[in-house]
Structure 1
């Protein structure tokens, strides 16, 4: 007790991370970083333990690029889908077919509708015309052909639920598998939707079993789970994978399974599992997590070459290239891997994962009874582990030497990880791990840090001898104006920030000798730095082959956006002159990418006691960095935000796009500075006006008009990469249906 009393302050410091970890685990003070770390751990654990074997029970019929090239762009005429369905059942003898597709609109591509109108209108008096139309109806009624292919066959259709279209509904929903009365008055929390997009009535009658194919996006945009059941108007509907599994099992009854009331109150909003009860007896239980969702038991990396499921091109099925009964007894999922059809998801095992394979993994997991679950008692487990490990470290670490403290901490962390991994591998339980790991690591660090900085006073005094770093620009201002005229304390100001990155530096570093590479880098940075300082810019820092600068601090500069834009143009011209010199000497050329943004930023003296710097931070700074990275996407050397452009009217600007960068919800317009406005020549002015017309048509999704204007633009400037980029975009987006909710912005998920 005397020893503990001696170290009470060190014990208290070590208990700090335990307190915060417990507050997080109990939901009192949720820490987003710990949730993200738990997601990262789950993803890594999943990838490390996937079976990576082929499940030959399930086959994916792929509407791939090959199919679109052979049959035609999507949507196909329904006669092709009828041929596909007939081939799967008649020649291939498939056991079950599920469509990860919604058939929400009638198919008028055969012209039958127009022929009927003519027969009833202007050609009704034409002898034999009506009879001929009636004769042709069987061959031209593509929807009817598809209905006949679906009727009385084991087919499950797909549809989607939505809550982002003002509750709009289209098509016909299948019969619900459960209603509110089955919950016995319990407030179970399902994913709830107020609208849907489903199949036409004639298809729903031909194939009455259907399931929704909505994924479940986590906060980081990754699909790790899907709703097993979802609520719409107090009725409960099944997912596509569950609907297919139930059809395979003979359509068992869906029942909720509640946690035992001796452990959980009736007010608890979760289910323990979903039971599939056979009418003749027997049942299967599928574990579910919060929101009646289930984790996807991914088998492998996914895709045609992923090795988890066999992919067959839909074109090969329609063309009957497979020998008969190749797919006998197989479970068939019809979906797409074509990028233009927008069914690729970000998952823990791949960034471009086909949505249809998500359903295949779930069906495979249900067949094998291999569904991982985050149990109801995960919270209690997390709290128990935190308390045991935290108290052990808090009271033991102050009493042992540094070497033993390291060993003890490693043993505690290893035990936490081993227990968590055992539960996952042995019982399929997904239990939280991040809070315990961070708590143990931080407790060790704080304990050692307290001993080093508080108890080792001599070392602390030595550390105080180190000064802080101040850039020369700030020193000059202090000398000229006096320290009382400004403060180095952090403040929020409107500034313009620049990020300039050298292109091709990585390739140069692989081919040039270190000394020559250093000379080249120093030469370029010296010239660019002179331009920045000559235009009253403050160098923030050098980061490898990137320089960061800002305008408007420490000295107020009203025209900071203009000076930054002027500097960017001068830097781009300087790099062109440098390349002329290098070509003459036989040296490799370089390029630059520059990003500019204007906005409120925190500026001041920031850092640690060891090293400090006068710098800027904030969301506007992050956007500037993102814009620099976009320069190579649009084939320009400078990308400027709209806020900077508005404050620099002295230049002529070409709008590049509206973008939504990673970490930003709001789309922003981005621009390229063409030249000073008073030096812009008439041909380029005409080109900018034509370009503005193109963007207007592009955002209106008028692709025909876009093609016409693009031809004019390419005549004006045939070598411009920007026009090639948009020409490809228009070609791709023609494949998509008109989207009234599209705001014309391009999303970028990478930094």
Structure 2
């Protein structure tokens, strides 16, 4: 390191016969990147040295010394070029090695194509990767100092100067960016999603505009103050509207929180639904569940014990419904009815309902093992899911209203849940739900049923509780047997189903189908027989 004002001269072997000289000091920004070139260095004795790129351009273009203009406060005249003042941002052509290089030994051995250097400026220096003369630049993490000078020379020769905005222009842009960020204050229904879109869009416009001006006009715009002004105003506006929404939430919960579920209140607050008594038709997924063998349990327990058991049970089931954005419709004895897709409109309500069903079973298993239930009591449930259109709304009178769902979809969901008893299963879903979630879990097609009051049959599927290799084999064998059953090959179906019982173990649907096949084998064939199971009971 040299004291200020002193210059380290090159050795005589380099200066003898040279056409000029220039300094090659490095000027790094605070982040360690080399972005700019200084023009001059003044020695203690008053001698002015120019930078190596400037000296090189002067020799290359061979302009007289009187074409140096050093007293212009706006630009530095250098031959036919007007350099930005007080220093120059280097306009890099690309990453490292954008300019061709030739190993020095090839020059010594004359092993190169002379046309590569004819009429070109040649810089000689160390570019070996193991060398220390490497710097971080905007276009590369590692570029040789020699190539930095090459980029600076090219910037001058091609007049590709990067200009910066004046302080006045920058302040105007900061003001505009701040006003653009504050526009959310004037939106009638600002939402978090709107804020995020505005932030992303506005930031993108600022960044892309800056990039455009840099690429097309070589104008460098300082992004940091623009983005800070824009984002800070959005944050302030968001905080303002958050305070307003909190006040409104308090009012709404005071008015409606006592007679509708939390989800309904949240929907009202987010303005997804109108506060009205009449309903609307929409697609939802209905979930029904109830406790298997509840009557013997209720008869064996004292009222206080039964009440405690139901409270523990409903706590877990309701938590699962709310976890997956479901709406608790009602509790009926030991049964739970919930629906998904309204008032919170989601495109994957079928998937949310299936996740809820799985979560219910998992929570129930933990409750059974928790030791909180009365001695000897184990709770088992059946769950049914069906997707379809229904009437959803705040239905009731002016004195009392309940956010609920009605229609054939509800009735069918209830009957599908009841089929768990017939097939000895835990979770059954309709084909209308299955078509949306068939890739999410392991399912087994159980049957095709026609419920009472409906002409159109529905395929029903069991949602397997585990996606294990044993269950995959079970599904494969059962569905093979089901197809044999539908093809009237009942003996072959029995053989396939018996393999399930022998190799895998007890399986309710297989036992039921074996009995049905045995019944068909034992009686005369009916030409009008159909594989569709018709259910006469509700």
State the TM-score, normalized to the length of structure 1. 0.36
The structure with the largest alpha-carbon Rg is 2
Which structure has more relative contact order (CA 8 Å, sep 6+)? It is 1
State the TM-score, normalized to the length of structure 2. 0.50
